Amino acid sequence: MTRRAVVRGVGHYLPEKVIENSHFESTLETTDEWIRARTGIERRHFAAEGETTSDLATHAANAALAHAGLTAEDIDAIVVATSTADLTFPSAATMVQAKLGMTRGFAFDVQAVCAGFVYALSNANALIVSGQADRVLVIGAETFSRIMDWTDRTTCVLFGDGAGAVLLEAQDGAGTSADRGILATDLNSDGRFKDLLYVDGGVSTQTTGVLRMEGNQVFRHAVAKLAATAETALDKAGLTASDVDWIVPHQANIRIIQGTAKKMGLPMEKVVVTVQDHGNTSAASIPLAMSVGVANGQIKPGDLIVTEAIGGGLAWGAVVLRW
């Protein structure tokens, strides 16, 4: 018997306010046509005034709990992937814990920017496989609208707010790649690339800062690194790209998503795509796409999923799981 972290539930939350590309045409030298053609983004959601990352995360967590038929008291741990926590501390995860009315267990944040959800899944898997927790809520939640430079057309049209959650549960498997649950993970980072994507402020510099990105340079790293990490994770699981039912990629740019699928030799029919409706929601984009993919009938129990992401750091990685 092998202890596996199996998806028991999934859910998401998007703030009410929808911002179409045309919104930016009055304040910036940009067009709906440019944004669609270069990124695939058509619209994104922005959190309301006063609505915080832990609010979004709590909604998504409740949706995942309802989907699993469980309550917060059934959970041992909460891991929130975010770079836009409500406060410097405590963690967004402990705020979610309180908002869910959960009085036991433990909660913490993971910060790996757009790769955050892949890192969080990998950490939650380790907690479950090592026997430290039986059920873990893994949440990706962001309010990137709070760290935009609204005068910078190269960044502010790209990002949105939202949250997604996956409930992982310990189950026994046979120890083969036919098992349900997380089969392999692959994490990477290279801090030499920190200037390609960062926020130019922080606690230690006593500023809040806004997002800065050398977009086309990040783009160049993205396709090669994403295809490589996905293939490494598949290899660790004893599988190949031909075994994959769905790629659930980080949703930053449709051209990166297409390029990665092509490099892996997989058609776009095997890719869950939500970038057109959500924009880039950083650590929230993968669980959002998983939840949408399940809700619209694409992802079914037993399907082999490979999920991959890259972001600030640079940090990147992939997880292979059987749904």
Cite the active site residues. 114, 250, 280
CB within 8 Å of 249: residues ≥ 6 apart = 226, 256, 257, 260, 261, 271, 272, 286, 289, 307, 308, 309
Question: Which residues inside 24-43 make contact with ligand UT7, applying CB under 6 A?
Answer: 30, 34-35, 38-39
**Is 232 one of the binding residues for ligand UT7 (CB under 6 A)?**
no
Give residue number: closest CB to ligand UT7.
Answer: 215
**Is 114 one of the binding residues for ligand UT7 (CB under 6 A)?**
yes
Cβ-contact 75, 128 below 8 angstroms? no
Name residue, tokens 């873990």.
Answer: 136
* Minimum CB distance to ligand UT7 smaller for 27 or for 296: 27
**Is 153 one of the binding residues for ligand UT7 (CB under 6 A)?**
yes
142 burial via Cβ count (<10 Å: 0-12, 13-18, 19+): buried
**Is 253 one of the binding residues for ligand UT7 (CB under 6 A)?**
yes
Half-sphere exposure of 31 (CA within 13 A, CB side): 3
Give the Cα separation of 295 and 9 in Å (integer).
11
**Is 311 one of the binding residues for ligand UT7 (CB under 6 A)?**
yes
Q: Given the rule CB under 6 A, which of 142-150, 167-175, 236-244, 249-257 is the region that contacts ligand UT7?
A: 249-257
* Minimum CB distance to ligand UT7 smaller for 171 or for 274: 274
Q: How many CB atoms lie within 10 A of CB 175?
A: 11
**Is 216 one of the binding residues for ligand UT7 (CB under 6 A)?**
yes
**From residue 266 to residue 305, what is the string marking binding to ligand UT7 with x (rule CB under 6 A)?**
--------------x-------------------------
**Is 157 one of the binding residues for ligand UT7 (CB under 6 A)?**
yes
**Is 219 one of the binding residues for ligand UT7 (CB under 6 A)?**
yes
DSSP state of 187: E
**Is 215 one of the binding residues for ligand UT7 (CB under 6 A)?**
yes
Cβ-contact 259, 111 below 8 angstroms? no
- Catalog residues that contact ligand UT7 under the rule CB under 6 A: 30, 34-35, 38-39, 114, 153-154, 157, 215-216, 218-219, 222, 252-253, 256, 280, 310-311
